[in-house]
């Protein structure tokens, strides 16, 4: 990777972390400067505004989501295993998800009402996940309509768990509810 591309990626990763942990509105441009360890001029060379950085962060999240889903498709032969892997990924991130919520969900909640571009970009991340989940249920023999319903149900429940665990700042709630979700999906898979 060329130096300029590496610098740009460092800015995106730093902003991604800050937008997740602090929120977009509470993250000042100076916070990004401090986090990435570059001068403001170096950052504005790559991104003219914080909104430009936001767009790059969401694009980065889209690409990262694609990579994760592709890896699961390659690493796990069975749709049921891939679905359980999706749920296990929630457990793997329980500390951050409990403290800050879902990175995409919180950003969509914060900006979705006022920023049409953010809403459209957030749709891309959510659509990737929903379509992937639906594909897994299709592979398990569900009709297209059933697969879409089950995908939306699983995705909605996962988002709800993240919200409640964050509100209560309680990893036990998170883990208990994710385990219930895992049992529910295992039951649906085996039925």
- What's residue 111's pLDDT? 79
Cα–Cα distance for residue pair 66/71, rounded to 1 Å: 8
Residue of 48, 50, 54, 39 whose CA lies nearest to 7: 39
Question: Would you say 79 and 139 are in contact if contact means Cβ atoms under 8 Å apart?
Answer: yes
Average pLDDT score, the chain:
91
Cα–Cα distance for residue pair 164/57, rounded to 1 Å: 25
The single-letter DSSP state of residue 93 is T
Mean predicted confidence (pLDDT) in 59-84: 95
Let me know if residue 14 belongs to a domain: no
Rounded-to-5 percentages of helix, strand, coil across the chain: 85, 0, 15
Cα–Cα distance for residue pair 15/32, rounded to 1 Å: 6
CB count, 10 Å around CB of 73? 14
Q: What is the CATH number of the domain that holds 105?
A: 1.10.357.10
Task: Quote the tokens at residue 58.
Answer: 């969401």
Residue of 64, 20, 54 whose CA lies nearest to 166: 20
Three-state SS string over 149-168 comes to HHHHHHHHHHHHHHHHHHHH
- What's residue 118's pLDDT? 66
Let me know if residue 180 belongs to a domain: yes
- What's residue 115's pLDDT? 66
Let me know if residue 93 belongs to a domain: yes
Let me know if residue 6 belongs to a domain: no
| pLDDT tens for each residue of 75-130 | 999 999 999 999 999 999 999 999 999 998 888 888 777 667 666 767 889 999 99
Question: Rg of the chain's alpha carbons, rounded to an integer?
Answer: 18
When pLDDT is cut at 50, 70 and 90, the band that residue 142 belongs to is very high
Write out the residue range of the structural domain in which residue 140 sits.
55-190
- What's residue 184's pLDDT? 82
Let me know if residue 183 belongs to a domain: yes
Let me know if residue 18 belongs to a domain: no
Q: Residue 186, CB half-sphere, CA atoms under 13 Å: how many?
A: 10
Let me know if residue 12 belongs to a domain: no
Let me know if residue 22 belongs to a domain: no
- What's residue 123's pLDDT? 82
The number of distinct structural domains making up the chain is 1
In the chain, what's the furthest Cα-to-Cα distance?
59
């Amino acid at each position: 990777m060329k130096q300029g591309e590496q610098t740009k990626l460092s800015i995106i990763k730093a902003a991604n972390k800050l937008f997740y942990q602090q929120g977009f509105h509470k993250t000042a441009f100076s916070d990004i400067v401090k986090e990435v360890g570059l001068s403001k001029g170096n950052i504005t060379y790559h991104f003219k505004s914080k909104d430009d950085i936001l767009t790059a962060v969401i694009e980065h999240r889209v690409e990262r989501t694609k990579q994760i889903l592709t890896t699961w498709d390659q690493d796990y032969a069975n749709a049921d295993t891939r679905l359980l892997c999706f749920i296990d990924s929630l457990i793997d991130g329980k500390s951050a998800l409990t403290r800050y919520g879902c990175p995409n969900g919180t950003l969509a909640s914060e900006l979705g009402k006022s920023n049409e571009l953010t809403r459209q970009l957030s749709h891309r991340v959510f659509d990737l996940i929903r379509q992937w989940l639906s594909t897994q249920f299709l592979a398990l023999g569900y009709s297209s309509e059933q697969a879409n319903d089950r995908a939306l149900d699983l995705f909605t429940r996962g988002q709800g768990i993240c919200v409640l665990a964050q509100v209560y700042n309680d990893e036990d709630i998170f883990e208990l509810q994710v385990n219930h979700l895992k049992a529910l999906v295992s039951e649906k898979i085996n039925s």
